[in-house]
Structure 1
Amino acid sequence: MNTLYDAIGVDYAQLRKPDPRIAEQIHAALDDAQSVLNIGAGAGSYEPIDRDVVAIEPSAEMIAQRPAGAARAVQGSAESLPFEDGSFDAALAILTIHHWSDQARGLAEMRRVARKRAVLLTFDPAFRDAWQLYYWPQLATLDDEQMPLLRFYEQHLGPVRIEEVAIPHDCSDGFLYAYWRRPSAYLDERIRKGSSSFWRIDGLDEGAARLEADLASGAWEERYGHLLAQENADMGYRLVIAEFD
């Protein structure tokens, strides 16, 4: 993960600006937690500013992307958190578990350091309704390889609550499926660089060429034009919330 994000991190903060509507849902899930450990924190997206936050991030480049005044950042990994048991009210992990080398150990560490709850924004690999898969079917294989099924969280955190995260059509955070109503964005190489998945698959240019042709011919709109009338869409993103006794 370090090597990948040392490359991605060069322009990451500009491409991945937190969306306030998603932030509101994440912060509500943190509930009354006043101290929060943000694991795989990257440039600091979705860190609440009204709580005591510590960030942990393996990539030095990503830490360097954190803005002035951001929470204190420690270089380290999810699998070996350098904190005592119960050091925080909550542990937070935003679109990061697919980068962990040992996901079960990382979840165990979240449970160890959090007194009250764990909150994760993740993706359900069973979701197959993203139109992007028509152009890059390799993304589904990648998700199967790197994203845990939702039942995995309950196996390692105990009972969990799952919330759908609706993605607004003008989402400001450039994660993989954020541009569901702005298909031409996927033709922009710079925008694609904001998603780690596009760094991991082959056939990227071929898929982009097919999309460009379909946008020009009207084929994309014929298949997916119904999306243009939607304000929000379910793109498979889920909030996983575990409450601890």
Structure 2
Amino acid sequence: MPSTEPRYDAIGAGYARLRREDPLLAAHLHAALGDARSVVNVGAGAGSYEPRDRHVVAIEPSAVMAAQRPRDRAPAILASAGRLPLADGAADAAMAVVSIHHWDDEQEAGVRELRRVARGPVAIVTIDPQVSGEMWLMRDYLTEVAELDRQIFPSPATLSAWLGGGAVEVVPIPVARATPDWTLLAFWAHPERVLDAAARAATSGFARMPETVVTRVVRDVERDLADGTWDARNGALRALDAYDAGLRLVVARPAPER
């Protein structure tokens, strides 16, 4: 089984160029943060999706990712999710954007840490592996990622349990064809990106795979695009502007005080 170790020190070098903020996801995320004036962002990376109009405390374990943060963003504190160097209720809200699968054995501790340091809402952008595994890429070609994702992505129900009491909402976020955030899920509309080494390198899904798997997937997709097999199976997707590939926003609000 491929390693589940964080890979951003390896893939981070070109991350900021191809993994740019998607406006629909940003709008949902920022709305979930409500009127919070201070936000802890765990797994902050290069700063995508951080609100510009609030005080952000960025937590990031990878120096490669932290070095890509623009000058107008807060410098990242180098720390891991499971032991945030912050006091209880240190911020109005906390967020994590598609980073929880890199927290390894700190997943539950990290989610509980988000709840601990936030006085108000916790917003987690994640992937439901049961849904993402049915996207053509994972279903027909990159089956190793589908299997790995089922192991490393907690289900929305599990995240809700870890977040403790209070209201928890799970919001499906469709992935737009024209999204500027070239996640692995965004390949739903662009099979040709499988043949693009830079596009593959900007995703942890491909980066976690052995070279033999990547070579096989590229070969098979290239063949099926050339002979029409891909379009015969999946051509209806070319008419869609957006698709539910499994992206989820989990929003937890604290239980009211008695």
- Residue matched to 1:132: 137
Unmatched tracts of structure 2, length 5 or more: none
**Post-superposition CA distance 1:64-115 (Å, at most 9, x none):** 0111111232111110000100011111000000011311100110111000
- Residue matched to 2:214: 204
- Residue matched to 2:157: 151
- Return the structure number with greater strand share: 1
Residue 224 of structure 2 is aligned to residue 221 of structure 1:
no
- The residue correspondences of 1:169-208 to structure 2 (distance < 5 A) are 169-202=177-210, 203-208=213-218
Rounded to whole Å, the distance in 2 between the matches of 1:181 and 1:188 is: 14
Cα displacement (A) at 1:182: 1.2
- Residue matched to 2:242: 232
- Residue matched to 1:70: 73
Rounded to whole Å, the distance in 2 between the matches of 1:168 and 1:3 is: 27
- Return the structure number with greater helix share: 2
Distance change in 2, residues 1:156/1:3 (3 Å)? closer
Cα displacement (A) at 1:3: 6.4
Q: TM-score, normalised by structure 2?
A: 0.92
SS at match of 2:129: coil
Cα displacement (A) at 1:2: 8.1
Q: TM-score, normalised by structure 1?
A: 0.97
The answer to whether the Cα contact below 8 Å between 1:53 and 1:72 also exists between their aligned partners in 2 is no
Aligned partner of 2:56 among 49, 53, 57: 53
SS at match of 1:115: coil
Distance change in 2, residues 1:3/1:25 (3 Å)? closer
Aligned partner of 2:10 among 7, 24, 32: 7
The answer to whether the Cα contact below 8 Å between 1:153 and 1:160 also exists between their aligned partners in 2 is no
Rounded to whole Å, the distance in 2 between the matches of 1:116 and 1:174 is: 30
Cα displacement (A) at 1:129: 2.1
SS at match of 2:187: coil
Cα displacement (A) at 1:227: 0.7
- Residue matched to 1:22: 25
Aligned partner of 2:124 among 112, 120, 123: 120
CA RMSD of aligned residues (A): 1.3
Deviating 4+ runs (over 6 angstroms): none
Is the deviation greater in 140-149 or in 90-99? 140-149
Residue 112 of structure 2 is aligned to residue 108 of structure 1:
yes
The answer to whether the Cα contact below 8 Å between 1:154 and 1:160 also exists between their aligned partners in 2 is yes
SS at match of 1:212: helix
Number of residue-to-residue matches in the alignment: 245
Rounded to whole Å, the distance in 1 between the matches of 2:6 and 2:141 is: 27
The answer to whether the Cα contact below 8 Å between 1:2 and 1:59 also exists between their aligned partners in 2 is no
The answer to whether the Cα contact below 8 Å between 2:41 and 2:57 also exists between their aligned partners in 1 is yes
